[in-house]
């Protein structure tokens, strides 16, 4: 019989296609035990022989009765089958949908519980100064300090407060948080906390990635705050502009970093270690003259030395033990050296996501995509998924001017446009077609700039009478937009 793909098997199972039935019968369809093994072990594989996306089934993802499947997944009684229990065959966009539903239900549960408590307290004639929301009122010029104090207070009172829906208010501003204000909040927090001058993270110009600063003077509570932000962003469906190596997401899932991860996070060091491993002569000890110790500098430029094993400074690296040296070096760089900082970071992340199906549904690479979004910006996808309102359609002249102008934008301008309209310059899981972008009419021709409701991904576009006027007004809007006020 001819080979048959997993896609064909699932399509036949879903649609009951007769022509492929005899081919399917000649092959052993993977049973639950094999699927469980694949799901359990696949996250540890960094370069699988068969890429992960080859297992995604578009037929299944499109035909899935999501409401029924999610309820069976959450029941966890083993009585009903759920495809979400075998997430490696589902497209990331479907798993994101499952996570969003789960998060929404948890937020609703927290609100209901708080309202019951409030009602009970009122019946007893007492006042309750709590809120059914995680409400943070912060000052722009004291953003990190205010956020840390408020989140620490919420955790001290009840860690479950972090499971409430986030509501951000900037002191002195009138913006109502329907999602857009919190997007700006996350953006500003990331910019400040990851500023190299802050000293919490080290920027690598070669890899263009951040790594934890092992000699940072910042308290562990600051790293816990960043972990909370990461969890809150996922929980509230916000994309963060964070540049971490992939090993951070594997470590969040309990997988320690290895030499394979060092090649991405510390490419220069990994290159030198690879040269040591590839050295063909039997004179490694003489050629490299290194021992089982390593040196690094703190933020003051002082050289610190660490033995990779007991009396490592007295133990030379040879042809026989060089692989052990590379493994110990990598383990120290990625795990032991930043242990305190990372564990504080993980603690903050777990405070928000500890009872979420996040780690059950997503592989580490998918978790990274969920947090950061994709860098691939396809304007054709954005245009094909766009809806029009207020009398506009895709044939309206000003709409055609708009798309002609956007296609001619530079990559930076396209990202500025996306950030202006949605609050983030990153593409969500599933692509820009999943965004539900809306272009709405906002009056006739005028000198006014376009405006946006970032909470709902709506661009309010006046009906400019020329392409030149539209381009001029649009570029000014996306270049200088910042802050929130009532329009």
Considering the candidates 238, 372, 421, 455, report the single residue annotated as catalytic.
455
Known catalytic membership, residue 455: yes
Residue that is written with structure tokens 């005899």 in the block: 22
Distance between CA atoms of residues 252 and 244, nearest Å: 12
Evaluated on CA atoms 312, 317, 320, 325, the torsion sign reads positive
Residue that is written with structure tokens 């369809």 in the block: 29
Evaluated on CA atoms 169, 170, 175, 178, the torsion sign reads negative
Distance between CA atoms of residues 98 and 78, nearest Å: 18
Q: In this structure, are strands 303-307 and 293-297 parallel, antiparallel, or unpaired?
A: antiparallel
Tokens of 111: 């609100």
Distance between CA atoms of residues 370 and 246, nearest Å: 12
Q: What are phi and psi of 170, to 5 degrees?
A: -85, 125
Q: What is the CA radius of gyration of the chain?
A: 26
Region of 391 (left: φ > 0; alpha: ψ -120 to 50; beta: rest) is left
The answer to whether 22 and 2 have CB atoms below 8 angstroms apart is no
Q: For residue 213, which of 322, 298, 121 has the smallest C-alpha distance?
A: 298
Q: Please give the positions annotated as active site.
A: 455
């Amino acid at each position: 019989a001819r080979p048959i793909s997993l896609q064909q098997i699932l399509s036949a199972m879903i649609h009951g296609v007769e022509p492929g039935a005899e081919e399917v019968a000649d092959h052993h369809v993977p049973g639950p035990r094999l699927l469980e093994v694949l799901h359990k072990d696949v996250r540890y594989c960094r370069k699988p022989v068969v890429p992960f996306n080859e297992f995604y089934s578009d037929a299944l993802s499109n035909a899935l009765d999501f409401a029924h499947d999610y309820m069976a997944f959450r029941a966890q009684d083993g009585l009903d089958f759920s495809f979400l229990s075998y997430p490696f065959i589902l497209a990331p966009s479907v798993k994101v949908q499952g996570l969003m539903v789960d998060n929404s239900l948890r937020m609703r549960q927290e609100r209901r519980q708080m309202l019951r408590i409030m009602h009970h307290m009122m019946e007893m004639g007492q006042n309750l100064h709590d809120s059914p929301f995680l409400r943070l009122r912060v000052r722009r010029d004291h953003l990190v300090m205010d956020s840390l104090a408020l989140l620490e207070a919420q955790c001290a009172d009840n860690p479950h407060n972090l499971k409430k829906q986030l509501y951000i208010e900037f002191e002195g501003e009138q913006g109502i948080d329907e999602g857009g204000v919190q997007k700006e909040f996350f953006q500003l927090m990331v910019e400040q906390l990851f500023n190299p001058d802050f000293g919490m993270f080290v920027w690598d110009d070669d890899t263009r990635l951040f790594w934890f600063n092992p000699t940072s003077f910042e308290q562990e509570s600051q790293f816990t705050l960043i972990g909370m932000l990461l969890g809150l962003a996922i929980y509230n469906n916000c994309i963060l502009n964070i540049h971490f190596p992939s090993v951070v997401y594997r470590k969040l899932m309990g997988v320690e970093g290895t030499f394979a991860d060092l090649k991405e996070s510390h490419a220069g060091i990994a290159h030198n270690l690879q040269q040591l491993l590839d050295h063909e002569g039997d004179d490694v000890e003489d050629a490299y003259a290194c021992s089982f110790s390593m040196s690094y500098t703190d933020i003051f430029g002082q050289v610190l030395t660490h033995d990779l094993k007991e009396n490592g400074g007295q133990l030379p690296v040879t042809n026989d033990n060089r692989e052990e040296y590379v493994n110990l070096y990598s383990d120290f760089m990625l795990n032991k050296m930043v242990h305190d900082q990372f564990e504080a970071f993980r603690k903050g992340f777990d405070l928000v996501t500890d009872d979420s199906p996040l780690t059950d549904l997503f592989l580490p690479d998918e978790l990274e995509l969920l947090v950061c979004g994709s860098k691939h910006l396809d304007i054709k996808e954005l245009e094909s998924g766009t809806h029009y309102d207020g009398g506009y359609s895709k044939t309206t002249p000003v709409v055609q001017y708009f798309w002609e102008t956007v296609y001619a934008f530079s990559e930076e301008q396209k990202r500025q446009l996306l950030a202006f309209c949605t609050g983030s310059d990153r593409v969500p899981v599933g692509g820009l077609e999943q965004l539900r972008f809306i272009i709405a009419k906002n009056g006739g021709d005028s000198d006014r700039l376009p405006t946006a409701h970032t909470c709902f991904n709506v661009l309010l576009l006046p009906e400019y009478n020329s392409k030149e006027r539209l381009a001029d007004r649009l570029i000014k809007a996306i270049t200088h937009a910042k802050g929130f006020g009532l329009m």
